[in-house]
């Protein structure tokens, strides 16, 4: 015989292959267990930070205007009213946002109650003088639209060189990046401070437990990627 047979009729080469196969399976299983443990630990430590990273909360100083970004209404205007009362600025700026079917409502002689008007009404009800609230025409559909509208406004108002932007927690990082990029094309430096509203009840550290928070975080990262790879080049 060309090869020596083992006790069960197997050749030495077949025995070696069987032992090698068992060793390889055990090694592969060990690697998979280690990788699984790694990803579980990484998830435990990293997942909460995904929400936290989106939140920017600058140390504020007295500024020329408080700009309230449209989106949610009452949590943002409440924060802006607090900042106004605390003396951080004596002017609040709002930007008209897009209202679907607004022209039809207006043609019928009705008032179109969009987020901007609701925010202004709430601010006035909280005691802020109407003359201290500036509403810019914009028909804005996005934060980029708001940034470009505000840029045109401060081009004509040279005295403005600092702003406090009020928005929601998960929106704060992207909002700052958009405004920094948009206003960098001006002929002067604009100080930009971001204040996420404390009235925004989003759970930053446990965002995955709530469907709305989960959707917001996921979409913010998608929108950030879109800004980094495309939209920022449209803001020059």
- SS3 assignment for the chain: CCCCECCCCCEHHHHHHHHHHHHHHHHHHHHHHHHHHHHHHHHHHHHHHHHHHCCCCCCCCCCCEEEECCCCCHHHHHHHHHHHHCCCCCCEEEEEECCCCHHHHHHCCCCCCCHHHHHHHHHHHCCCCHHHEEEEEEEECCHHHHHHHHHHHHHCCCCCCEEEEEECCCCHHHHHHHHHHHHCCCCCCCEEEEEECCCCCCCCCCHHHCHHHHHHHHHHHHHHHHHHHCHHHHCC
As a whole number of angstroms, the distance between CA 109 and CA 157 comes to 34
Residue 157's pLDDT is 96
Residue with the larger pLDDT of the pair 81 and 19: 81
| Integer angstrom CA distances of residue 213 from 29, 84, 115, 124, 173 | 36, 28, 21, 30, 16
Of 66-75, 80-89, 210-219, 227-236, give the range with the top mean pLDDT: 80-89
Contact 227, 174 (CB under 8 A): yes
**Is residue 31's pLDDT more than 70?**
no
As a whole number of angstroms, the distance between CA 194 and CA 179 comes to 10
Residue 138's pLDDT is 82
Q: Rg of the Cα trace of the chain?
A: 28
As a whole number of angstroms, the distance between CA 83 and CA 92 comes to 10
Residue 13's pLDDT is 56
As a whole number of angstroms, the distance between CA 150 and CA 97 comes to 13
Six token digits for residue 152: 């045109």
**Is residue 15's pLDDT more than 60?**
no
| Domain boundaries defined on the chain | 1-53, 65-234
As a whole number of angstroms, the distance between CA 56 and CA 219 comes to 17
Which superfamily is assigned to 65-234 in CATH?
HUPs (3.40.50.620)
Residue 69's pLDDT is 96
Residue 9's pLDDT is 55
Can you say whether the dihedral through the CA atoms of 119, 121, 122, 124 is positive or negative? positive
Residue 21's pLDDT is 60
pLDDT band at 1 (very low <50, low <70, confident <90, very high): very low
pLDDT band at 3 (very low <50, low <70, confident <90, very high): very low
As a whole number of angstroms, the distance between CA 78 and CA 199 comes to 7
| CA-based nearest residue to 90, from 60, 113, 64, 53 | 64
Residue 119's pLDDT is 95
Residue 176's pLDDT is 97
């Amino acid at each position: 015989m060309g090869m020596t047979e083992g006790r069960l009729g197997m050749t030495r080469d077949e025995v070696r292959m069987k032992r090698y196969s068992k060793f390889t399976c055990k090694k592969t299983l060990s690697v998979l267990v280690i990788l699984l443990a790694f990803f579980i630990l990484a998830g435990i430590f990293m997942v909460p930070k995904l929400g936290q990273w989106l939140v920017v909360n600058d140390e504020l100083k007295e500024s020329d205007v408080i700009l309230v970004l449209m989106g949610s209404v009452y949590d943002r205007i409440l924060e802006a009213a607090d900042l106004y009362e605390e003396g951080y600025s004596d002017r609040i700026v709002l930007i008209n946002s897009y209202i679907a079917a607004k022209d039809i409502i207006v043609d019928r002689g009705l008032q179109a109650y969009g987020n901007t008007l609701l925010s202004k009404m709430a601010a006035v009800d909280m005691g802020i003088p109407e003359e201290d609230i500036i509403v810019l025409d914009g028909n804005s559909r996005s934060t980029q639209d708001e940034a470009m509208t505000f840029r045109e406004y401060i081009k004509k108002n040279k005295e403005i060189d600092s702003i406090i932007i009020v928005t929601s927690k998960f929106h704060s990082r992207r909002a700052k990046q958009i405004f920094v990029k948009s206003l960098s094309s001006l002929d002067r430096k604009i100080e930009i401070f971001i204040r996420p509203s404390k009235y925004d009840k989003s759970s930053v550290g446990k965002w995955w437990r709530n469907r709305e928070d989960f959707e917001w975080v996921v979409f913010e990262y998608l929108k950030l990627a879109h800004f980094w790879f495309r939209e920022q080049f449209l803001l020059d």
